[in-house]
Amino acid sequence: MNSDAPAAPGGGVRLPPTPEQLQAAFDHGIWYALSLWPALHVAVQNSWGGTDSAEKRDWFAGAVSELFTERQDTDAEDLEAFLLQIMQDEFDCNVEDETEVEVGRTIMLLRKTLLEGDVSGYETLERRWKSRGMMKADVKVIDNGDNEVDDEDDEDDEMDEDRAPQDTQQAPREPRERPQPQIDDDGFTKVVGKKR
């Protein structure tokens, strides 16, 4: 008996996760990472992707998972570019605060640990999502009319409360070309969203 193996709830030895369990953890972990992304949260809450914005977020998670399936050599820069492209294409939102770097880093670390058979990164993401409470967003939003709106939600901006990740495997959509970043007079990069 291996004394280093973690004990299962009944006192036995916990078996290592199967490849299917690891893939499911990766898919759900991507969903958690995207759902915790303030820029995507604001886009979904404000229906920037249309009335089916929440479904687009679910599709987004599947598209990220599919990216790794189709291109095993996907690196952090590829992933960040993909995240930004989907935000532009599907939510008409230019994310220019570089938060995609942290989301990409989270997903890359999740992938690395799961490939090693370690589910602790997934469990941490799941805990963060479950304990997120009221998600606060401090995002400067510029609509196409260049009317600035400071969105500092302190109490009314809750995520989809009981919505857990669904099956995220869907066909990816073709990305559109992304416009260049806009920087205001104070040196802040603007998050731009289109009104529909």
Q: What is the pLDDT of residues 69-125, one digit of tens each?
A: 999 899 999 999 999 999 999 999 999 899 999 999 999 999 999 999 999 999 999
Q: What is the pLDDT of residues 135-147, one digit of tens each?
A: 555 555 555 554 4
How crowded is the C-beta side of 138, counted as CA atoms within 13 Å? 1
Q: Is residue 116 part of a domain?
A: yes
Domain span at residue 39 reads: 19-160+178-193
Q: Phi/psi at 137 (nearest 5 deg)?
A: -125, 130
Q: Is residue 1 part of a domain?
A: no
Q: Is residue 187 part of a domain?
A: yes
Q: Is residue 98 part of a domain?
A: yes
- Could you tell me which of 64, 70, 18 has the C-alpha nearest to residue 40? 64
How crowded is the C-beta side of 44, counted as CA atoms within 13 Å? 22
Q: Phi/psi at 94 (nearest 5 deg)?
A: -90, 110
Stretch 123-130: mean pLDDT: 91
Q: Is residue 165 part of a domain?
A: no
Q: Is residue 11 part of a domain?
A: no
pTM of the predicted model, to two decimals?
0.65
Q: Is residue 43 part of a domain?
A: yes
* Count of structural domains within the chain: 1
Q: Is residue 69 part of a domain?
A: yes
